[in-house]
Every structure is written in structure tokens, then in C-alpha cells.
Amino acid sequence: MTDPRTTVPDFPAGTILGYPRIGRRRELKRALEAHWSGAIDAEALERTAAELRRATRRRLAELGLGGADSSIPEAFSFYDQVHDAATAVGVLPARFDGFRESDGRIGLDAYFAAARGAGEDAPLEMTKWFDTNYHYLVPEIGPETVFALSHDRFSRQVAEATADGHVVRPVIVGPVTLLALSKPATGARSDFDPLERLDDLLPVYAELLRALRAAGADWVQLDEPALVSESLPASTDRLAQAASRAYAALGDAAGRPAILVAAGYGQLSEQAWRALAASPVEAIAIDLVRGAIPAAVDGLAGKTVVGGVVDGRNIWRGDLEAAWETLEALSGLGAGSVAAGTSTSLQHVPHDVADETELDPRLASWLAFADQKVAQVATLATGLTSGRDAIEDALAAASRALADRRSAPGVRDGAVRSRLAELGPDDFHRGAYEDRVSAQERRLDLPLLPTTTIGSFPQTGEIRRARARRARGELSAAEYETFLREEITRVVALQDELGLDVLVHGEPERNDMVQYFAEHLDGFAVTQNGWVQSYGSRATRPSILWGDVSRPAPITVAWSAFAQSLTDKPLKGMLTGPVTILAWSFVRDDQPLGETANQVALALRDEIADLEAAGIGVIQVDEPALRELLPLRRAQQPAYLEWSVGSFRLATAGAGAQTQVHTHLCYSEFDAVIDAIAALDADVTSIEAARSRGEVVDDIAASGFGAGIGPGVYDIHSPRVPSVREIEDLLQRAVDALPLRRVWVNPDCGLKTRGYDETVASLANLVTATQRVRARIGAGVPAGISA
Ligand code: GLN
Ligand code: ZN
């Protein structure tokens, strides 16, 4: 093989940055879960994985990638791509050392132990991958972490592909992003920054690159999305400097393949763009869907620039003509060559529109899932090699589909549009908080430190089976309704017995907090097979928000009203907020998100009015995704917070003063969003705090947040039953820091993933702990409570 530093192997005219890996029918999920439960051994799991990889390569070749030019990415993962890269270079917390193979290498046992936890040893933390709903495993790196090649999966996959006759380009998270996404290992000094270890890590990456080349790879793709983010601990400058150092060193590595650095998920920072252009890497992939064409800079003449013009994150067929024009404009930069690409890996979209036999065919003709996007890239590549005439028909067909979508009934609904146009500032404001508090106190008559839950009760096997039988038509609508009413009756009685103060109906009718609403709103469609990996073996099936949103009929009112009829205590109605509905769906791309959010908000506003009319006095609007959608670039954050907060207020501001509006947020990183949370103007906000041992209450107190607040006192993310003492301590901490009359007592999230035994025991302890703290306060102990 030639040295790529003198002769660069051909780069394809089109490629994708990654492809879904869970399988068209979630085959990998099934195999993984069977392996974890002991039903199949590691060899059987490996066989399934190899078959999936083979099917992927074959499919990509069929769709027009392939040939001798490394256009097929080899981007498989058993669990997570960050964990794959970390373990390849030996990064595994010491607590899992016992799972390494006898020669110290990291096999599947150690890999899964760290991903899922083992006994007392907590798994790696999971967090969202940039601003997507995919979660990666956070590597733990300290000053002492030893970097060493510790598995050869990447090379073996290249060899496997080569043996099958494919030329593939292995895809690996790059060294800068790997370190930038890591957290300090236990025991490291608190200001330790894993990026300090870059120089120690690079020789191991160089070795990895050599191994890939030896296995037959002409090209490697190193993913560096950290270079687009302004939301990481490291500054843009520091990241760009790290990139410059890293790619100078890797560029120099003898015996390496040619390097494509891929920086999807947004606009590459100018500093990083200059650094990469000046580096010896052979190709750079940039996101031209979220980002703009960068400035012409020195160093591009010998490089390929891959223009990410096909959106890797949404499911729209999109404007292929505009994509083509962007590629043409990109040619103006003076790069050695330009290639067509996706803006990110396609791991964020489902496999194939052809698998959706129940979608309206007209809607289906506007969509592009992974396979359709691959075909688009192949089309653009043909255009680049053979000229625009060669793809004129395909461009015209895409434009016709786009025009059809623009004019289709339902995409624009006059009634929805005029209602939005007539909104004024008053529609976004409730009355003064103090007036609301007194009206609500009179109406609800709650004790000090009111107890409640976040909404869902355990989704038992029985509930899931009943839902499946209803879907298959084995249960009639009436039988299913009876089943749900019995379930609600049981859950309400249980809460009454436990002595909770504000009850819920338990959400047994909901498969998912977003999909349930999508199924009941106009403007949404749901898919049969549109699964997208969320983390590990878990996948979600986002709904498609394609048209103007409206509510043909009340959605939750009958369930809440029925539950309220069973108890004298206040029953809390339960809705999902506009931002979360958008965040966890595939959203139309033909108007600003804020406009779509306001349409959803109006539908929710009507639902709230109907709940009020049905006698419901407490209504919770969940917004767990508020933080997740926060743009990676700071300049875009204020505008986001403005529309997201606005849509929540539009949804809730129609509620009367005597209606208590709650919201629930699933995290406790308040940094950038604390002001926004206050601006939601909810009467009560519940947050996650149990896992951070209540530390967040000090931040809340310091921020001057003055409304009702329920810092979670029971961590529902684990089956552990918290003791009375533990809950009492957390509650006392909240009571000491926050205005006493504003404190609520609740678990830190919904209970749907828990079992009944632990739920009942935990809630009983929660009520007892609350009674103890109330008694202490009543007796005047301890002093220093602010009221
Ligand atoms: N009300 C929802 C539930 O209890 C909230 C879930 C969430 O915050 N993700 O399940
Ligand atoms: Zn939650």
C-alpha cells in the first residue's frame, strides 16, 4: 500500500458519516438483551452482530455507495461509539478491572460491565450526545489513566468487510472529542481536565490508525463534533488548539490510513476550521445543514471537503436542489475536491420509509429515512462526477415532492394560523404569583410540605399486555377502558392509603409521554418501525410532526375526571409540554420551531381549559426536554429560551388563578436555564435532586427562585428503597435552604419504570419522613427556618 502522505487514496464523491446499527427490526436489541439475560452466549451475539454489519454493507452498496473508494462507513457499535473508542485505548474505570481478560484486554464482559454496572459498581454515567436524544457513556479519565490499545474490534471489522469484498472506512470518535466528553476519574483533583492528557493519548491513537491500515483501511473517519460545541467545559479556543496538536501528531504517524475528520452537529468553530485546514489530514467533513459554508482558508488545496448537505437528524426528503447548490458554492472554497455527505451520522433516523406500510402514501413521499438519505447522497455524488444534467430528474422529483408538501391539506390549517396570528402579550401572562398563591391555598387547603408524585405509576406487565391486546384488536375499546379504569381506581386508592396529598391517575393509558399526545393531535403521524437508538439496547419511536397542530377532541380529561371522582383529595392532571413534544418527535422543518411550539401550546391550552371545567384544580405540564434542546452555540441560546419559555406560558397562561400549574424537569443542571425555569412562571416546579444529594437546593436558593419547588427526595432511577432517615435528611436540607411554605415533597421522576414493591415501600417512607419533618417544624425545632 502506498503512503497516503505522498499519494492520497481516492475519496468518494459521496458518503454518509454513519448508519443505524440496531437493525431494521431491532435485531441487535434482542440479541443484546438475550445475551445479558444469559439466553445466548457471546459467540451467538457476535454472529448476530456480524450478520447485521454484513447486511448494512450490502444495503449501502445496493443504494449506491461502495466500490473501491471507502464510501461505506464501518460504524457498528454494541452499545455506544464513545465507549467503543474509550475502551479501544484502554479507558475503563478501575472498578471494572476485574472484568478485563487475563492479558488485560477489554473484551465484551468488561465492556458491558462498565456500560450497565455490575453489582455494587455503578455503570458509567450516561448523558446526551450533543443536542440529540442519543445518550453516550461518559468515560472517566484521571491523571493516572494508562492509555494502551485494549481491543482490536475496529481492525477486525475492517478485515471482516474486506473479506466480504467491501472497502470500508472505519469510524471512530476522535481523540479531542473523546477527552472533551470525559469526566475526571474518581480521585482526580476536582479541577483536573481530561484534555490535559492529550499528548499521552495521541501515540495510542497513532497505533490504532496503523492497525487499521494494516487490516486494509485506506481511510479512517475520526469524529470530532466537540469542535462545533460551545456547551462543553473546554473553550472553543482550547478545543481548536487541541485539534491542531492532535492532527499534527496523527498526520505524522507512519503507516496510517488517510484521515477524514468529521465535525457534524453544527457549525464548526472558525478556530477549529483553520486548525484542521492547516493540519496534514486529507479530508474534513462539515455540517452544512446547521452550519454555513466556512471562510476560504489556507491549506485546503490538497484536501477533500465533505459537505454535509443531507440532514442526518430529520426525516424529511428535503430540498435536494438547494443541497446541490450548496455543494456548488462549497466548490468556491478552493479545496482539492468536494464530496457530498450527511450532516451527521444517520444513527439518529430510522432505517427505511419502505418499512412504513401504514403511513399515508402522500406523507411517505415527503420522507427520507436513512436508506433514502443514502440514495440522496449517491445522487449528489453522481452530480459531482458527471455533472448536473445526470441528476436533473432526481432533483426535479425532489422539488416536486417538496412543492406537493407545501400545498398539501393539513400542512397549513387556516384556523390554527389565524388563532396564532391573533395572540397578544396577555395570552402569555397569568396574574400575579401572590394572588395565585392565595387563591390556590383557599381552594386546595394543603398541609405544609405537600406530598405528591410526578405522574406515572409502575407500567406493569399487565398494563403492557392489555395495550398490546388492544392494538391487536383482542380487547374491544370498551374492555380496554374498563381495564384502565380499574387500574386507575387501584392507583388512587393506593395513594389515599399511603397518605399522599396531591394524587395522580398514574398514566396507565400512555405508552409514552410524547407519543400518546401525538396520537391524539392532528398534524402528527406515528410510524410502525421508525425506531431510533436512544442508548444501548434502547430505542424510541419518535412521531412525525408534519402539519399544523390542533386538538380534535379532549385527550386526558376523561381519565383525570374519573380519577378525581374517586377521591376528595386534589387530583393532578398530567400533560406533556410543547418543548418536550417537539424534542422527542421528528418536527417539520418548513417553519421556525417556535411557531410549531406555539401550535402545540394552543392545543394544550384547550386541554387545560377542559381539565379546569372538569373540576381539576392542579395541572402539571412536564418539560423534561427544556434543557436538552438548548443550542450548542451560545449566540443562539437567548432566542431558543425565548420561544421555548413562551410556548410553555402560552400553554398554561389561560389557567385561572385558583388552578395550580406544576411543571416537572428531569435534571438538576440548572446552569444555563435557571432564569428560564423561573420565567416559566409555574406555581410549582419539581426537579431531579435525589442523585446529587440535594446539592441543587443551594443553587435554587441562591438564584432567588421564589415559587413552589419540589426537589426530588427519592431517586427513582434505581430499584433501591430510600430509608425514612435518608429522605428526612434531604427534605430537611431543602427546608433549611428554601422558603418553608414553598417546599414540596416528591420522587425525582415518574415511577413507570419501577416495580410496585419498591414503589410502595419508598412512598410510605416518603410520607413518614414528611410527617417527621412537619412534626419537628410544628414543635419549633430546628430554629432558623425561613418562612
Ligand atoms: N409525568 C411523567 C411521568 O411521570 C414525567 C416523565 C418524565 O419526566 N420524563 O412519567
Ligand atoms: Zn422526570
DSSP string for residues in 30-79: HHHHHHHTTSS-HHHHHHHHHHHHHHHHHHHHHTT--SSS--EEE---SS
Reported as a single tens digit per residue, the pLDDT across 438-460 is 999 999 999 999 999 999 999 99
Q: Is the CB of 696 under 6 A from ligand 1?
A: no
Mean pLDDT of 31-45: 97
Tell which residue, 262, 104, 109, has the closest CA to residue 172: 262
Question: Please, which residues bridge with residue 250 across strands?
Answer: none
Residue 785, pLDDT > 50, answer no
3-state secondary structure of 456: strand
Residue-level pLDDT at 678: 93
Nearest CA to ligand 1 atom 3: 750
Contact 612, 657 (CB under 8 A): no
In angstroms, how far is CA 112 from the centroid of its own chain?
Answer: 21
Residue-level pLDDT at 719: 79
Residue 787, pLDDT > 50, answer no
Residue-level pLDDT at 692: 67
Round to whole Å and give the CA distance between 726 and 249: 51
Is-cis flag, bond preceding 782, omega within 30? yes
Q: Is the CB of 137 under 6 A from ligand 1?
A: no
Q: Is the CB of 666 under 6 A from ligand 1?
A: yes
Q: Is the CB of 455 under 6 A from ligand 1?
A: yes
From 662, 752, 754, give the residue whose CB has the most ligand 1 atoms within 8 Å, as the site to mutate.
752
Residue-level pLDDT at 672: 73
Length of the chain: 787
Residue 5, pLDDT > 80, answer no
Residue-level pLDDT at 673: 85
H/E stretch holding 661: strand 660-664
Tell which residue, 638, 642, 600, 641, has the closest CA to residue 621: 600
What are the φ and ψ backbone dihedral angles of 627, each rounded to 5 degrees? -75, -35
Residue-level pLDDT at 545: 98
Mean pLDDT of 680-708: 86
From 664, 667, 684, 746, give the residue whose CB has the most ligand 1 atoms within 8 Å, as the site to mutate.
664
Reported as a single tens digit per residue, the pLDDT across 96-144 is 999 999 999 999 999 999 999 888 888 898 888 998 989 999 999 999 9
Contact 433, 681 (CB under 8 A): yes
Contact 706, 671 (CB under 8 A): no
Tell which residue, 224, 283, 258, 227, has the closest CA to residue 81: 224
Reported as a single tens digit per residue, the pLDDT across 505-555 is 999 999 899 999 999 999 999 999 999 999 999 999 999 999 999 999 999
Contact 482, 776 (CB under 8 A): no
pLDDT band at residue 674 using 50, 70 and 90 as cut-offs: confident
Tell which residue, 103, 9, 19, has the closest CA to residue 61: 19
Residue-level pLDDT at 696: 80
Residue 786, pLDDT > 50, answer no
Reported as a single tens digit per residue, the pLDDT across 580-610 is 999 999 999 999 999 999 999 999 999 999 9
Residue-level pLDDT at 668: 63
**Which atom in ligand 1 lies closest to the alpha carbon of residue 574?**
1
Is 35 one of the annotated active-site residues of the chain?
no
pLDDT band at residue 691 using 50, 70 and 90 as cut-offs: low
Q: Is the CB of 622 under 6 A from ligand 1?
A: yes
Averaged confidence pLDDT in the chain: 94
Contact 619, 608 (CB under 8 A): yes
Q: Whole-model pTM? A: 0.92
CA of 246 to the centre of ligand 1 (A): 42
pLDDT band at residue 1 using 50, 70 and 90 as cut-offs: very low
**More confident call, 127 vs 217:** 217
Residue-level pLDDT at 640: 96
The C-alpha cell 406555581 sits at: 683
Residues with CB under 5 A from ligand 2 (ion): 624, 666, 749
Residue 697, pLDDT > 90, answer no
Q: Is the CB of 194 under 6 A from ligand 1?
A: no
Instruction: Give the gyration radius of the chain's Cα atoms.
Output: 27
- Measure Cα distances from 599 to 52, 420, 771 in Å: 41, 7, 43
Name the catalytic one among 135, 348, 664, 717: 717
Residue-level pLDDT at 709: 95
The C-alpha cell at 271 is 478556530
pLDDT band at residue 4 using 50, 70 and 90 as cut-offs: very low
3-state secondary structure of 539: strand
Least confidently predicted of 203-207, 338-342, 752-756: 752-756
Contact 586, 527 (CB under 8 A): no
Pairing relation of β-strands 135-137 and 126-128?
A: antiparallel
From 505, 749, 752, 763, give the residue whose CB has the most ligand 1 atoms within 8 Å, as the site to mutate.
749
